[in-house]
């Protein structure tokens, strides 16, 4: 059997300790060991972006990240996007504009979008497209997703003022 | 009359769960003592199974069960006429990726290791990879009990006098087209969880068709349907991919029974490509006669479908390649010959538009060529031939509301098509096309006289309303549609209405989310159920409180006499009054389409209680140095009867445009040396945010007399015209004709080089497989030229 590794992860602000095989991916740990099933999988090979999570605020594909490599970094998943019961502006915008159809790509889209708005509060359409280009969606044609990012960015800027 | 909820851009029922990660999809479910299931698939496209030995796998610690074909020997299939699949291959394998064995183990890694220990000895047979190979003299027979030449289905129908129509024509033109296969690639990989409790089996599955899955489980596992519960958790996209019963579902059920423990199987992306059931590759020939004024006198359409290894929905798909050509244009005489053949590839089936995008591509490209030949504007040629509302087609299809003419004018106006066509600089062009699609198939998959949809409405003592329906929300928003209709009729806020769906124990029948049937059929059932509940409550209130029943209305959470909102009582009080007077507050409604089938065999495919109509203009640029195409902008007008929720409607239109552009430009389910060329999302190219152009959606409302609140389908029809509009725009941009999809840069360059050398500048088929069709069945057109004046809403 594979040797287990003792890990201490900081996920959505909570410290979680667990023993996992060394080769276990962050995706597997999140979904199966920590029951954070909001993070999705669509290919397990880094092709679709459904498993996007934030590590220290930067988007990473959880399916290609070893859980061990997330140690010492702040992991953020879709479950940690809202502030208590108050939704992130991106989540509200996705709801209002119908940017989630089947919803399977939505967690990854939200995290890629949140990282974008964190580093660039006023992205151009081209910059938003670039930031979301690694997240595939088969339902929406991306139209309402791009609209929702723009709406959230606008509201976040207004909120700052 | 204005509505309080219908027509409003409200968030979907499940929007909150989906943006917070709370939505539970099948693979997110976990049960105590759950085992992991894995499936061993054939690496060979065509081979006999000489020996299969599960013993070494069973000996591995942690393995709880191994199944082979002998454990599940009963054949099944989605259509009663095509019961030709085994859950696990029995004697031979017919495509690379076909399941041959399955394992349940303590964890996924053990299950995967066990797969490698199962010994399978194959004896290879020559693979048959195309219809031409399948039909060739002496070709290996894929199904030994099938028809010779690997023929699956044949159709030959003639409506009216086609030869007389061609004789009366001033111009006759014939073209050949090829539509390559592609697949759905829904983001959620198929998953199933099964649990057995000694008497009953519960199966949670990512299926679009819980009812048909229950039937298949019953047949293959030899359990009465009353002992099988199928539940669909949140579903991560379908597009037709999840509308067949699948081996992994049957296998999970069997493994749960054998081991006595819950078993979950989640497919990998590679396995999803092998499940397929996607777009059939179709070779087509279309020949049409015209008067010099551009009026169609006759049409002759042939199609040859590459079906893959099994029947699936193929018998219906074959007829769909010939059914709807007549629903956009008046065709006075029409002949269709269709042929589906088996090949050693994953089975094809229904993908968004089921069997109709291929002929629509052919027809709309063909008409552009005809227009050029006749010296007519391509839009004008269509205008002269458009079908009329409330008419009947030559192949006995009843058309009710029809906003096609309005779609054409609005999309032409919005896009500036007439100003741009033939006038943009080289390398830039616009293309136009139209289409129609069904709002649910008029006939159910298995012949029966029962309702296709039922809905129950229950009112809680606290005033809360629950709607129960087996309709499966696959992301399209069907649960939201049911809630909208119910809230509207009962005068409540949408949040006062809970929706319980897709559970064969809890909810009454709905046949499933396919053929764009749910808004129309489950919607009509919901309207009927909610109206009965309204009548029950209002009747009781009128009697008990001495109010005039015919003046009572339900609005804003109150019951009152029209014009006197100050009087009356709250919904909560009304519920208490009604419950005391009438007992349990439950109501049910059902929907069954009217009798629509024509007087001939094969008439079950094509009829629908209503058709949606679409017109589209695509503007694109093409670099003549590289053949690269960039879609620049899309305008699309869609007659959907009534917009129940404009957010959802636009989402469906935009998603259709996106999927159509992918099919037109890059998506390709291709094979090399008998195996899939690249069963991954890297190799299977789709549009990303970077390639997707702006979409201008124009919603046209015609308020269909039989639709719920006048609504028709949205979600499939809008895909259809976009693909030919791309091909037509390319011709406008650089003067070449690519008569096959996908339209890739290499094909564009080949055509451009041919054009430079003085050739026609075309890439496309030069022939389609020869086949001796039987003499077509002659069917008289419906009597009288129309307009149709039959009964509307019953």
Compute the CA torsion angle B683, B688, B690, B693 (nearest 10 deg): 120
Q: Write the pLDDT tens digit of every residue in B654-694.
A: 999 999 999 999 999 999 999 999 999 999 999 999 999 99
- List chain B residues with CB under 8 Å of A104: 25, 186-188, 236-237, 475
Nearest chain B CA: its distance from A35 CA (Å): 8
Q: Give the nearest partner residue to B185 out of A38, A132, A138, using CB atoms.
A: A138
Q: Give the nearest partner residue to B19 out of A95, A102, A144, using CB atoms.
A: A95
- Pairwise CB contact (< 8 Å): B681 & A82: no
Distances in Å between the alpha carbon of B504 and those of A7, B91, B187, B202? Answer: 43, 34, 25, 10
Residue A14: how many other CB atoms lie within 10 Å: 10
Q: Mean pLDDT over residues B770-781, rounded?
A: 94
Q: Give the nearest partner residue to B647 out of A41, A98, A106, using CB atoms.
A: A98
Confidence of residue B790 (pLDDT cuts 50, 70, 90): very low
pLDDT at B786: 45
Show the tokens assigned to B595.
Answer: 């009798």
- Pairwise CB contact (< 8 Å): A42 & B689: no
Q: Are B178 and B740 in contact (CB under 8 A)?
A: yes
Range with lowest mean pLDDT among A54-68, B136-150, B347-361: B136-150
Q: What is the pTM of this model?
A: 0.97
Q: How large is the ipTM?
A: 0.98
Show the tokens assigned to B453.
Answer: 């949809």
pLDDT at B145: 87
Residue A128 contacts B where some CB pair is shorter than 8 Å: yes
Q: Are A97 and A148 in contact (CB under 8 A)?
A: yes
Q: Which residues contact B528 (CB under 8 A, 6 or more apart)?
A: B455, B589, B590, B591
Q: Give the nearest partner residue to A102 out of B188, B269, B656, using CB atoms.
A: B188
Nearest chain A CA: its distance from B619 CA (Å): 17
- pLDDT higher than 90, residue B787: no
State the distance between the two ends of chain B, measured CA to CA, in whole angstroms. 21
Q: Write the pLDDT tens digit of every residue in B565-593.
A: 888 999 999 999 999 999 999 999 999 99
Q: Mean pLDDT over residues B434-462, rounded?
A: 96
Show the tokens assigned to B151.
Answer: 């023929």
pLDDT at B783: 82
Q: Which residues contact B116 (CB under 8 A, 6 or more apart)?
A: none
pLDDT at B188: 98
pLDDT at B142: 98
pLDDT at A2: 61
Search chain B and give the residue with CA nearest A134: B688
Q: Which H/E stretch holds residue B465? A: strand B465-469
* DSSP per-residue letters across A79-142: GGSSBTTBPPHHHHHHHHHT--SS-SSHHHHHHHHHHHHHH-SS--HHHHHHHHTTS--SSSTT
Beta-strand pair B263-266/B282-290: unpaired
Residue with tokens 């859950």: B87
pLDDT at B1: 64
- List chain B residues with CB under 8 Å of A129: 689-690
Search chain B and give the residue with CA nearest A135: B688
- pLDDT higher than 70, residue B785: no
Alpha helices in B276-313 (DSSP H): none
pLDDT at B417: 98
Compute the CA torsion angle B15, B20, B22, B23 (nearest 10 deg): 40
Nearest chain B CA: its distance from A158 CA (Å): 22
Mean pLDDT over all residues of chain B?
96
- pLDDT higher than 90, residue A78: yes
Assess whether the previous peptide bond of B742 is cis (omega < 30° from 0). yes
- pLDDT higher than 90, residue B605: yes
pLDDT at B15: 98
The sign of the CA dihedral B722, B728, B733, B738 is positive
Q: Write the pLDDT tens digit of every residue in B260-288.
A: 999 999 999 999 999 999 999 999 999 99
Q: Give the nearest partner residue to A47 out of B184, B474, B682, using CB atoms.
A: B682
pLDDT at A44: 87
Residue A33 contacts B where some CB pair is shorter than 8 Å: no
Compute the CA torsion angle B604, B608, B614, B618 (nearest 10 deg): -30
Q: Which of B783, B768, B650 is nearest to B282 (CA)?
A: B768
- List chain A residues with CB under 8 Å of B680: 43, 45, 47
Q: Give the nearest partner residue to B21 out of A97, A107, A132, using CB atoms.
A: A107
> HSE of B318 in the Cβ direction (CA atoms, 13 Å)?
24
Q: Give the nearest partner residue to A137 out of B184, B187, B269, using CB atoms.
A: B187
Show the tokens assigned to B430.
Answer: 């616009």
Show the tokens assigned to B465.
Answer: 């309303």
Q: Are B590 and B454 in contact (CB under 8 A)?
A: yes
Burial class for B197, CB neighbours closer than 10 Å (0-12, 13-18, 19+): exposed
Q: Which H/E stretch holds residue A12? A: none
Residue B139 is classified by DSSP as P
pLDDT at B788: 40
Residue A143 contacts B where some CB pair is shorter than 8 Å: yes
- pLDDT higher than 50, residue B603: yes
pLDDT at B714: 96
Q: In what order do the strands lie in the sheet with B465-469?
A: B497-501, B465-469, B453-459, B586-591
Residue A47 contacts B where some CB pair is shorter than 8 Å: yes
pLDDT at B540: 98
Q: Give the nearest partner residue to B20 out of A82, A133, A145, using CB atoms.
A: A82
- pLDDT higher than 70, residue B794: no
Search chain B and give the residue with CA nearest A34: B28
- Pairwise CB contact (< 8 Å): A100 & B15: yes
Q: Are B273 and B510 in contact (CB under 8 A)?
A: no
- List chain A residues with CB under 8 Å of B234: 103
- List chain B residues with CB under 8 Å of A100: 12, 15, 18-19
Search chain A and give the residue with CA nearest B29: A37
- Residues of chain B with pLDDT > 70, as a percent, come to 98
Q: How many CB pairs under 8 A join A and B?
A: 170
Residue A89 contacts B where some CB pair is shorter than 8 Å: no
Compute the CA torsion angle B526, B532, B537, B542 (nearest 10 deg): 140
- Pairwise CB contact (< 8 Å): B269 & A42: yes
Q: Which of B509, B40, B689, B754 is nearest to A132 (CA)?
A: B689
Q: Mean pLDDT over residues B8-21, rounded?
A: 98
Q: Write the pLDDT tens digit of every residue in A96-137.
A: 999 999 999 999 999 999 999 999 999 999 999 999 999 999
- pLDDT higher than 50, residue B789: no
């Amino acid at each position: 059997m594979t040797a287990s590794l003792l890990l201490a992860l900081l996920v959505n602000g909570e410290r979680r300790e667990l023993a996992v095989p060394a080769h276990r991916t962050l995706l597997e740990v999140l979904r199966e060991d920590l029951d954070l099933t909001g993070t999705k999988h669509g290919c397990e090979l880094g092709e679709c972006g459904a498993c996007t999570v934030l590590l220290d605020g930067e988007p990473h594909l959880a399916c290609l990240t070893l859980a061990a490599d997330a140690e010492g970094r702040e992991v953020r998943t879709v479950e940690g996007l809202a502030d208590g019961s108050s939704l992130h502006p991106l989540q509200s915008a996705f709801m209002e504009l119908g940017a989630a159809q089947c919803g399977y790509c939505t967690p990854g889209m939200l995290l890629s979008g949140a990282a974008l708005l964190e580093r660039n509060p006023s992205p151009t359409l081209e910059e938003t497209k670039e930031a979301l280009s690694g997240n595939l969606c088969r339902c929406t044609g991306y139209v309402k997703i791009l609209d929702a990012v723009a709406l959230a960015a606008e509201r976040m800027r207004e909120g700052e003022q | 009359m204005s509505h309080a909820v219908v027509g409003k851009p409200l968030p979907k029922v499940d929007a909150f769960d989906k943006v917070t990660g709370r939505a539970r999809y099948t693979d997110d479910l976990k049960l105590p003592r759950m085992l992991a299931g894995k499936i061993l698939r054939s690496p060979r496209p065509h081979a006999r199974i000489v020996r299969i030995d599960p013993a070494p796998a069973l000996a591995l610690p942690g393995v709880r069960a191994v199944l082979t074909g002998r454990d599940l020997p009963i054949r099944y299939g989605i259509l009663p006429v095509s019961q030709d699949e085994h859950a696990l291959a029995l004697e031979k394998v017919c495509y690379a990726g076909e399941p041959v064995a399955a394992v349940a183990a303590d964890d996924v890694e053990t299950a995967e290791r066990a797969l490698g220990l199962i010994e399978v000895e194959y004896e290879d047979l020559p693979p048959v990879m195309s219809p031409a190979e399948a039909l060739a003299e002496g070709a290996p027979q894929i199904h030994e009990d099938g028809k010779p030449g690997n023929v699956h289905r044949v159709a030959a129908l003639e409506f009216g006098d086609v030869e007389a129509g061609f004789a009366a024509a001033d111009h006759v033109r014939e073209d050949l087209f090829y539509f390559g296969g592609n697949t759905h690639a829904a983001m959620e990989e198929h998953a199933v969880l099964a649990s057995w409790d000694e008497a009953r089996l519960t199966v949670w599955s990512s299926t679009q068709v819980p009812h048909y899955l229950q039937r298949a489980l019953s047949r293959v596992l030899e359990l009465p349907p009353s002992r099988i519960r199928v539940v669909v958790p949140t579903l991560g996209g379908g597009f037709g991919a999840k509308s067949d019963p699948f081996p992994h579902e049957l296998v999970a059920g069997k493994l749960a029974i054998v081991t006595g423990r819950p078993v979950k199987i989640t497919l990998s992306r590679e396995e999803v490509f092998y499940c397929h059931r996607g777009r059939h590759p179709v070779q087509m020939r279309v020949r049409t006669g015209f008067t010099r004024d551009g009026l169609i006198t006759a049409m002759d359409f042939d199609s040859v479908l590459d079906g893959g290894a099994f029947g699936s929905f193929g018998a219906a798909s074959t007829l769909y390649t010939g059914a709807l050509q007549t629903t956009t244009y008046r065709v006075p005489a029409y002949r269709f010959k269709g042929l589906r053949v088996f090949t050693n590839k994953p089975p094809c089936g229904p993908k968004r538009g089921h069997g109709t995008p291929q002929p629509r591509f052919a027809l709309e490209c063909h008409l552009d060529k005809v227009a050029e030949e006749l010296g007519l504007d391509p839009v004008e040629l269509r205008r002269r031939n458009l079908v009329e509302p409330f008419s009947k087609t030559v192949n006995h299809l009843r058309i009710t509301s029809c906003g096609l003419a309005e779609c054409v004018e609005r999309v032409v106006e919005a896009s500036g098509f007439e100003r741009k066509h033939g006038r943009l600089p080289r390398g830039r062009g616009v293309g136009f096309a139209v289409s129609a699609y069904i709002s649910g198939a008029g006939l159910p998959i298995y012949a029966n006289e029962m309702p296709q949809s039922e809905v129950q409405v229950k009112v809680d003592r606290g005033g809360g309303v629950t709607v129960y329906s087996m309709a499966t929300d696959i992301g399209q928003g069907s649960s939201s549609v049911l809630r909208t209709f119910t809230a509207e009729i009962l005068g409540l806020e949408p949040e006062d209405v809970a929706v319980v769906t897709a559970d064969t124990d809890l909810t009454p029948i709905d046949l499933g989310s396919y053929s764009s049937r749910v808004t129309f059929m489950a919607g009509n059932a919901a309207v009927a159920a909610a109206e009965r509940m309204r009548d029950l409550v209002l009747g009781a209130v009128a009697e008990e409180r001495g109010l005039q029943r015919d003046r009572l209305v339900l609005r804003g959470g109150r019951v009152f006499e029209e014009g006197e909102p100050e009087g009356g009582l709250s919904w909560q009080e009304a519920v208490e009054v009604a419950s005391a007077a009438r007992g349990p507050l439950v109501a049910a409604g059902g929907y069954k389409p009217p009798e629509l089938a024509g007087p001939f065999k094969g008439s079950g495919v094509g009829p629908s209680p209503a058709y949606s109509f679409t017109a589209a203009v695509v503007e694109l640029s093409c670099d003549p140095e590289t053949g690269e195409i960039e879609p620049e902008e899309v305008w699309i007008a869609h007659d959907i009867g009534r917009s129940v929720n404009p957010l959802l409607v636009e989402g469906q239109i935009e998603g259709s445009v996106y999927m159509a552009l992918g099919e037109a430009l890059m998506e390709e389910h291709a094979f090399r040396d008998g195996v899939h060329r690249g069963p991954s999302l890297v190799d299977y190219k789709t549009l990303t945010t970077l390639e997707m152009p702006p979409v201008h959606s124009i919603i046209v409302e015609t308020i269909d007399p039989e639709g719920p609140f006048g609504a028709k389908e949205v979600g499939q029809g809008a895909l259809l015209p976009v693909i030919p509009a791309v091909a037509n725009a390319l011709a406008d941009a650089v003067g070449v004709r690519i008569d096959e999809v996908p339209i890739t840069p290499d094909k564009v360059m080949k055509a451009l080089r041919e054009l430079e050398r003085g050739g026609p500048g075309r890439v496309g088929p030069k022939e389609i497989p020869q086949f001796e069709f039987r003499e077509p069945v002659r069917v008289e057109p419906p009597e009288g030229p129309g307009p149709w004046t039959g009964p509307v809403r019953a």
